[in-house]
Amino acid sequence: MIGTPESLLLVAHGSRDPRHAATIERLAGATRAARPDLSVRVGYLDHNGPRVAEALTGLGSVVAVPLLLGHAFHGKVDVPAALAEGAARTGARVSLAGVLGPDPRLLPAALRAVTDAAGVAPGPGTGLVLACAGTTDADAKAALRRLALRWRRQLGADVRVADAANTGPGVGESVAALRAAGATRVDVAAWFLAPGLLLDRASAEAFAAGADSVAAPLGPAPEVVATVLARFDAVTSRRTAVA
């Protein structure tokens, strides 16, 4: 019989911006607080430490949850490769869970951040930009458009997806388009887990184009913690079912 994995590894991309790692560590701390019996570690793909292989050192059975808000290149290629290398080096038994997003369960956290920044909730006649890091992956783009449609139906606002990395309509371009379409105000939701240079640049572009507010990233919001643990539990439940 296969037992419940003793450890959870949060796999983060990493950034030269120190705010990124600080936010990820707060998320790890919030996850530990929510599940005190669970061993939680963080491993980074790049820029920060510990790297994935180092984080796996000394562990037995592990579930790795990629802290990614879309299932694109990093989730499909970089994370599995880093985990395979780390498992080979350390002997850890690693199961890979699904990425965090896009997941509708995270939308309340993003909307709360928008409302906090704007001082008012988006609604009919207003514009809302869902600003993501950007990807060329067609499936990942389609999933983000579905989230935007869900928000449009829920809020009545004109919601558009924008890519901070300019792999599609940019943030400034989307803000300007909403203004041109007659939006009485335009707010920007940050589909990012943590602050960083890319989000800073997108924020500057948004304000230059006439945005009224730019929300903070999701950070260690309760919905993020709950989604992390849901990914972990989905793996352990499958293991129990087939044991």
Which CATH number applies to 7-100+220-242? 3.40.50.1400
For the chain, residues with pLDDT lower than 50 are 1-3, 242-243
**pLDDT tens digits along 103-158:** 999 999 999 999 999 999 999 999 999 999 988 999 999 999 999 999 999 999 99
Is 104-214 in the same CATH topology as 7-100+220-242? yes
Q: What is the pLDDT of residue 5?
A: 61
Is residue 122 reached through a cis peptide bond, with omega within 30 degrees of 0 on the bond before it?
no
Q: What is the pLDDT of residue 93?
A: 96
Q: What is the pLDDT of residue 3?
A: 47
Q: What is the pLDDT of residue 239?
A: 67
Q: What is the pLDDT of residue 6?
A: 84
Q: Domain limits of the chain?
A: 7-100+220-242, 104-214
Which CATH number applies to 104-214? 3.40.50.1400
The model carries a pTM of: 0.94
Between the alpha carbon of residue 106 and those of residues 21, 147, 168, 213, the distances in Å are 20, 10, 22, 20
Q: What is the pLDDT of residue 243?
A: 39
